[in-house]
Amino acid sequence: MSLSQKSIDEYKKIFKEEYGQDLSDAEAREQGGRLVDFFEILYKQAQIEYRRKLRLKKEKVKGFFLDANEGQFTCAICGVTKPGNEIWWNLDGLRCADCWRNIQEKVIPPLTWDHDNKIWIHDWQIHSDYNVHPATARKIRRLGELHGRGLKRKDGLVYCTVYLVSENKEFIKKYPKKPAMKVEYVDPKGRKVEL
């Protein structure tokens, strides 16, 4: 999208007030254009979400499978990417058909994304976040100190294991979560920004 000279001047003024730096017209045009493109993406996604919510109300359903032509989506539970027609959408997020079936069969509760592990833990996080080697995790499970819920495909194969925090309090006490890594960004002026 091409920005007007008025928009470029306004962007330069805002940038100067915010960061104390002057931009050339070319820099302001490029940065402002990227900002406009970013907001167009956000707006399009908001429109998609709005249409989906309208469909929930209109059809009086709790969720639905997306259309195949909507693209590829990643399941919020197992992390597998599948085409839209194999992804269940509702207000809680996206789930693949297998995870949705496991929820319907009450293997797991209707989980939502839990980045701080207050409700559930992914199987890969046992190693990365709790510093427990996969072989040790299997041993701890055999000993009954770690309780996982195996999510199965239609053919009966376990494709993912979910650990509910409420069922693993002793494990979490014995193997506390590693502290989160602090990431700092240093901008060209040498200012540090903690992410």
Which of 17, 33, 59 is the C-terminal boundary of a domain? 59
**Do 6 and 48 have their domain in common?**
yes
Q: Is the pLDDT confidence value at 183 over 80?
A: no
In the chain, the percentage of residues whose pLDDT exceeds 90 is 63
Examine the domain organization and report whether 50 and 109 are in the same domain. no
94 Cβ contact list (under 8 Å, min separation 6): 73, 74, 75, 76, 87, 88
Same domain flag for 177 and 122:
yes
What pLDDT, in 10s, does the model give residues 52-84? Answer: 999 988 888 889 999 999 899 999 999 999 999
Give the count of alpha carbons within 13 A of 121, CB side only. 24
Chain-centroid distance of CA 40 in Å reads 20
Specify the pTM: 0.74
- Do 127 and 186 share a domain, yes or no? yes
Q: Do both 195 and 119 map to the same domain?
A: yes
pLDDT at residue 42, rounded to an integer: 96
Residues 71 and 148 in one domain: no
What pLDDT shows up at residue 195? 59
The answer to whether residues 120 and 192 belong to one domain is yes
CA distance 94 to 89: 5
The average confidence (pLDDT) of the chain is: 89
Whether residues 50 and 66 fall in one domain? no
50 and 13 in one domain? yes
CA distances to 9, 24, 25, 35, 122 from 5, in Å: 6, 12, 9, 16, 50
Domain count, the chain: 3
Is residue 41 domain-shared with residue 78, that is, in the same domain?
A: no
pLDDT for residue 43 is more than 90 = yes
Q: Based on the domain organization, do 124 and 171 belong to the same domain?
A: yes
Domain that holds residue 84: 62-113
Confidence band for 154, pLDDT divided at 50, 70 and 90: very high
Q: Considering only residues 115 and 61, tell me which one the structure prediction assigns the higher pLDDT.
A: 61
Q: Are residues 126 and 156 in the same domain?
A: yes
* pLDDT at residue 193 greater than cutoff 70: no
